[in-house]
Amino acid sequence: MTAATLERLPATTGPAGTEPVTSIDLEFSRALDVHAGLEEAVAGLIEGPAQEAGCGILVTRLHPGRYTVALDESVPFGETYEAIAA
């Protein structure tokens, strides 16, 4: 996957002195990039913020090509759930 397909690069930490990132918004221009891009975003949250927060990750499809990957207290720690926004 190339970074050019993302709306912005996923980051698991904010600028120095700020809170860690708990949500990543992604937009893909090609369907072929969705799977790898979502995996990268989930992995980024698993490595840092999810461990500290003690919660799981929710991947929400907002519309075709647009997703949010976020820490969610309703998801058990160590699990990743998927949802489709209505």
For 65: left if phi > 0, alpha if psi spans -120 to 50, otherwise beta; the answer is left
More confident call, 67 vs 9 = 67
Given this model, what pLDDT does residue 24 score? 94
Residue 77 pLDDT > 80, yes or no? yes
Q: Closest Cα partner for 49 from 83, 77, 74, 86? A: 77
pTM across the whole model: 0.74
Domain count, the chain: 1
**If 0-12 CB within 10 Å is exposed, 13-18 middle and 19+ buried, where does residue 60 land?**
middle
**More reliable by pLDDT, 68 or 3:** 68
- Containing structural domain, residue 72: 3-12+21-84
pLDDT tens digits, residue range 4-56?
233 443 444 445 555 667 899 999 999 999 999 999 999 988 887 767 778 89
